[in-house]
Amino acid sequence: MWPHISRDFALVNEKNETTNAADGGSTLAGQLLGALQLSQDATLQFVSAWFDGAAEVVAKLTDMAATPKPETIPSPNELLTFAQQLHGAQQNFIAELTAKADPVSFLGSLKAAQTALLAKPGEIAAANARLMIGLDAAVRATLECASGAAPAAPMSPSSGDSRFADPAYAQSPLYFLLEQEYLLGCQYFGELLDAAQLDESQDAKARFAAKFILDALAPTNTLLGNPAALREAFDTGGESLVRGARNMLEDLNQKGGWPSQVDSSGFELGVNMAATPGVVVYRNELIELIQYAPQTEHVFAVPLLFCPPWINKYYIMDLAPGKSLIEWAVQHGHTCFAISYRNPDSSMRDLGLEDYLRLGFFEAIRVIRDITRAQEVNTVSLCLGGTLSAIGLAYNAAIGDASIKSATLLNTMTDFSVPGVLGLFTDEATIAGLELQMQKDGFLEADAMAHVFDALRANDLIFQYIGNNWLLGKQPVAFDLLVWNSDGTRMPAKMHSEYLRSCYLNNEFALGEFAVDGRRLYPKDVKIDTYVVAAINDHIVPWTAGYKTATIFAGPNRFVLTTSGHIAGVVNPPGPKPKYWSNDARPDDPQVWKNEATLVDGTWWEDWAEWIDARGGDEIAPPDHLGSESYPSLEVAPGSYVRVRA
């Protein structure tokens, strides 16, 4: 019954070895998208089985989603046969996946694990023995379940894994066994990777590849293995299957087979997203600069510039009324400006990181000072925008420019020595492959980056939508955060290459090796006040990396740690859920900082408002018009650049 688990593992490596030998270095060209697309193609082929006899399947199997009656209790052999049949299609999934090239060498890392395991027969035998013991316990528990008892499951899903929350997985012996078999298989692969003892880089890639494949193979991603989908098909007379097929075909036609994550039909820029009133006061080939209308009787004299990442649209900082950090700052008396980056095309292929610094960050500050007649500007920067701002701060310190009074850095990496899971995608081979991929068009497609980030949380951002949209035939939710997330931007080839090499690969800024105009920059030269925010559940900028940003400069710093993730940590308006940790000490170890920190009820927005107000200068009358004679209003916010779709 169970040898297919080891057989599939061998199949992965055997076919991958053949592919790598044939393709050699050329496998780098496709990079991550290729690996993800292969898996997605196989998933689509797998799920397409709905169309074959869906009505007959529903008629015969709907009772599997309910607790079986005593007189219909299947025999142990029938239980094992059923589980084996359900996994047959998933074996085909693996075969299809590994029959093609592996352009990122993720599966190549699994091959390395297999090679290492060949020298460790004892560890393999021990893992196999534990697997058999676990399977035996699972079958015994299944028999108890079939007799109406509530057995103790040998395996339980990890905390936060809701895939097996449907009652059928506890009440139906068929689904109970299916869940146990899947979880035991996942544990088995984990033990094999533990035994392989690969080097750190290969081990991380192998575990990422294994997790992605195992997540794709979860029974909840199949019609027969998803009791909620069968129940929905029965309750709707098969209509859910028709809706699901329609959803899948639409995703095939419009999204290349990736499942839709959000219903964006009710959202419109300038109406209920990016809706804080303002005008575009400046435009060049890279940015539009938006000035926001005052909403208070008095304003602070020092203007405030919002610097977003260019990997997404700027309006994550102005998401929606009541959820906008820009709106919050305007309502607290700040004269606010925001950079909105142009969505790159082929003509921008030669724009580099220094161009983004000069045409974006520095140019925005120059125009703001001209419009407001202020000598200093406060800045608020997010993620990649924060990295660019940090470089700008160090450059200003090097040349004696005091135009920036304070800097707020949100979920920002400046020291890339602990890059988190994104480090898997930023080794030399992967970057070289991306560079080849970008040569043709001069940019990296928005979907390429989006799929990378989706893969980091595949269950949440890919496979749950296969279940909801395709298997259950439902529509995704209407959610402003996901609408913004789906509104991606391209990345210019030169800039993206320089960013990945300078930051992720070589960590030049933290090491004092990053240069602008031939001048090396040193973070410790920066002595202005900084406010740094990190998010404990951030899967893009690990909070420990955010802590390094709080200690990399020489000036006074306040650091807070939110209880949210990369995006929700920024869109964090007052409410019952937000919390953050605070601690004025700066020990070297971030975990020591957290252990000694105080958990505060409320949003960091309120804490930051007090901090930034103290650096806002005198209170003055608000301007009677936006822009100036030199920089008149060009159009109402949110402008034109933000409306260009990738």
CA-CA distance, 339 to 342, in Å (whole number)? Answer: 10
CA atoms within 13 A on the CB side of 454: 24
- Of 145, 336, 383, 503, the catalytic one is 383
First to last CA, the chain: 48
For residue 200 the two structure tokens come to: 């750190």
Contacts of 435 (CB under 8 A, 6+ apart): 493, 497
Q: If 0-12 CB within 10 Å is exposed, 13-18 middle and 19+ buried, where does residue 10 land?
A: exposed
Residues 418/544, Cβ–Cβ less than 8 Å: yes
Residue identified by tokens 């090396």 is 520
What's the Cα-to-Cα distance from 379 to each of 51, 562, 582, rounded to whole Å? 55, 20, 21
Of 325, 330, 530, nearest in space to 412 by CA? 530
Contacts of 112 (CB under 8 A, 6+ apart): 196, 198, 202, 206
Would you call 383 a catalytic residue per the annotation? Answer: yes
Of 95, 32, 39, nearest in space to 215 by CA? 39
Residue identified by tokens 């290459």 is 497
What's the Cα-to-Cα distance from 47 to each of 192, 248, 636, rounded to whole Å? 29, 9, 46
Of 214, 221, 260, nearest in space to 106 by CA? 214
Q: What is the DSSP string of 226-268?
A: -HHHHHHHHHTTTHHHHHHHHHHHHHHHHHTTPPP----TT--
Residues 349/494, Cβ–Cβ less than 8 Å: yes
Give the β-pairing of 619-620 and 557-562: unpaired
What's the Cα-to-Cα distance from 445 to each of 437, 454, 478, rounded to whole Å? 10, 15, 25
Positive or negative, the CA dihedral 162, 163, 166, 167 is: negative
CA-CA distance, 166 to 182, in Å (whole number)? Answer: 15
List, by residue number, the catalytic residues: 383
